[in-house]
Amino acid sequence: MADDLLTQLKNMTTVVADTGDIEAIRRFQPTDATTNPSLILQAAQQEGRRQRLGEIARQATDIDDALDAVAVEIGSEISALVPGYVSTEVSARLSFDTEASLARARALIDRYQRHGVDPSRILIKLASTWEGIRAAQVLEREGIHCNLTLMFGVDQARACADAGVTLVSPFVGRILDWHKSREPEADFEGDRDPGVQSVKRIYEHFKGHGYETIVMGASFRNSGEIKALAGCDRLTISPALLGELAESHGHLARRLSPMDAETRAPEPQDEAEFRWALNEDAMATEKLAEGIRKFMADQRKLETLLGELRQG
């Protein structure tokens, strides 16, 4: 019998677990793992963590300190299970504040070092706003690797690559959500999926212009989207979809390859060009703003939980 689809995918794409669930990471053995405020909230709500969370909350100087301590503790546990990168996100509240993002990112790296985790294995996640991209540019020059998230189009991706970021996470499923809400009867299967098409454009642009920035498709709604992007540099996948792939068999064809690209010189864009291009893309504008709000909503839930435990 042929290898399962997950095994085949791992032969052409670096598989990343999109979770803070330690048991899922042990089961699927990904190379990397990503977290975000929503995933940290899910992990923090596990009953077995409550006592430790209470200790962290009471030892912290304030809620921000407690939030970072929780994120780094979970990230440090994950780092012991994967050989590659672990992504940890700067607060979405700072998405439009470059200096505050820089301070928070450096604090996270310092905290990881105190946990004995090599900073070279950490990707600091920042929203793909102009301010987030500028923070990433400074951090990369300092040797701090970055993962630019909440990405919905090639113009955001171009700005990130121009800034020299290590990795970008274009969102597939949320792009599909936007289009389905407007065309509920349309057929968006396979290559017709607008989220899949967006990641392909970004991948081809990066390979065609000689960018070294890693493309990692994210936010999948179904395994068909993953299959359509087989061969992408990295794909970050939820435990549910990892399980589906692990239980499925058949031939998985490679869909993306850097050998198909013809290299051309990069075409940097300035702030005005970036903001205008984002403004012209209604989907990217709306989903970026919505994504920031959703991450903050879950962060506030975690803040409330930690605040209650501090009073404990």
Query: Confidence band (pLDDT; 50, 70, 90) for 262?
Result: low
The angle subtended at Cα 272 by Cα 137 and Cα 295, nearest 5°, is: 55
Q: Which residues are catalytic?
A: 125
Query: Confidence band (pLDDT; 50, 70, 90) for 43?
Result: confident
The DSSP call for residue 222 is: S
Helix or strand holding residue 132 (H, E): helix 130-141
CB atoms within 10 A of CB 137: 17
Burial class (CB in 10 A: 0-12, 13-18, 19+), 222: middle
Q: Is residue 269 over pLDDT 90?
A: no
Q: Give dist(CA 150, CA 113) in Å, integer.
A: 27
Q: Is 231 helix (H, G, I), strand (E, B) or coil?
A: coil
Query: Confidence band (pLDDT; 50, 70, 90) for 310?
Result: confident
- For 207-216, how does the pLDDT look when each residue is reduced to its tens digit (9 = 90+)? 998 899 999 9
* CATH class of the 5-311 domain in this structure: alpha beta
Phi/psi of residue 301, nearest 5 degrees:
-65, -40
Return the CA Rg of the chain.
19
Name the token pair of 292.
């920031």
Q: What is the pTM of this model?
A: 0.95
Q: Looking at residue 102, what is its pLDDT?
A: 98
Beta bridge partners of 151: 170
- For 139-193, how does the pLDDT look when each residue is reduced to its tens digit (9 = 90+)? 999 999 999 999 999 999 999 999 999 999 999 999 999 999 999 999 999 999 9
Picking from 164, 90, 80, the residue whose alpha carbon sits closest to that of residue 127 is 90
